[in-house]
């Protein structure tokens, strides 16, 4: 199955889950409350777990499809504008001469701008460490491994019950780097 078909199935699966979750929470809200005893409203938690899938257009004649689960934590509840955390990204890099796989660990703070984290605009920055195999034929590089940085910006859009859409755009430079575009991301605050 081609990469495009796999990505399309992931998007369809995520859309079905999002729609069913949103409908379930809308029904619960009409009945007096979401997930809290006595009809009290649920609040945004200190943790945010997310899953992203997207595309990285690499500078050195390559493209990449990535899958990135991550976790963010708000260490001081009254300072909801800052979170710390990271993610582990799996990449499939495609060059003119072949393909390879890489794992990237990214860690650093996330700054939130908005009334609530589940609806905020955010900026994430930090260190990135990439480890990849070198079994491909890219004439400009011997290995996609390296140490560098990332800078990502995005907007969370609440869909109810602690769930938010989380599209992201930014840059990453570790080994081989470039533009990061993740239109399909979903997060859960708990």
Nearest CA to 69 out of 98, 90, 84 is that of 90
CB atoms within 10 A of CB 75: 11
Q: Of residues 86 and 43, which shows the higher confidence score?
A: 86
Minimum mean pLDDT range among 16-25, 28-37, 91-100: 28-37
Would you say 103 and 130 are in contact if contact means Cβ atoms under 8 Å apart? Answer: yes
Q: 19 falls in which pLDDT band (50, 70, 90)? A: very low
pLDDT reported for residue 9: 52
pTM across the whole model: 0.70
Per cent of the chain over pLDDT 90 is 37
Q: Of residues 159 and 56, which shows the higher confidence score?
A: 159
User: Is the per-residue pLDDT at 39 higher than 50?
Assistant: no
Would you say 70 and 49 are in contact if contact means Cβ atoms under 8 Å apart? Answer: yes
| pLDDT tens, residue by residue, 59-117 | 556 677 889 999 999 999 889 899 999 999 998 877 776 777 888 999 999 999 988 88
> What is the mean predicted confidence (pLDDT) over 133-141?
54
Look at residue 49 and give its three-state secondary structure: strand
Nearest CA to 67 out of 99, 109, 98, 103 is that of 103
Nearest CA to 140 out of 172, 171, 102, 177 is that of 177
CATH of domain 43-189: 2.40.160.20
Q: Of residues 44 and 79, which shows the higher confidence score?
A: 79
| 168: CB partners within 8 A, 6+ apart | 52, 54, 152, 153, 154, 180, 181, 182, 185
| pLDDT tens, residue by residue, 147-170 | 999 999 999 999 988 999 999 999
Q: Of residues 17 and 45, which shows the higher confidence score?
A: 45
């Amino acid at each position: 199955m081609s990469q495009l078909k796999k990505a399309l199935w992931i998007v369809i699966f995520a859309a079905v889950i999002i729609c069913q979750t949103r409908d379930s929470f809308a029904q619960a809200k009409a009945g007096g409350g979401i997930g809290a005893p006595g009809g009290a409203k649920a609040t945004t938690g200190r943790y945010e777990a997310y899953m992203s899938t997207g595309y990285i257009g690499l500078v050195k004649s390559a493209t990449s499809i990535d899958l990135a689960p991550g976790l963010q934590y708000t260490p001081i509840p009254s300072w909801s504008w800052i979170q710390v955390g990271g993610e582990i990204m799996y990449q499939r890099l495609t060059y003119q001469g072949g393909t390879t796989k890489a794992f990237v660990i990214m860690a650093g703070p996330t700054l939130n701008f908005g009334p609530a984290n589940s609806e905020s605009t955010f900026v994430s920055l930090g260190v990135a460490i990439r480890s990849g195999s070198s079994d491909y034929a890219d004439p400009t590089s011997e290995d996609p491994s390296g140490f560098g940085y990332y800078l990502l910006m995005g907007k969370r859009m609440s869909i109810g019950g602690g769930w938010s859409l989380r599209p992201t755009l930014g840059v990453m430079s570790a080994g081989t780097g470039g533009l990061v575009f993740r239109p399909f991301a979903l997060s859960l605050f708990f």
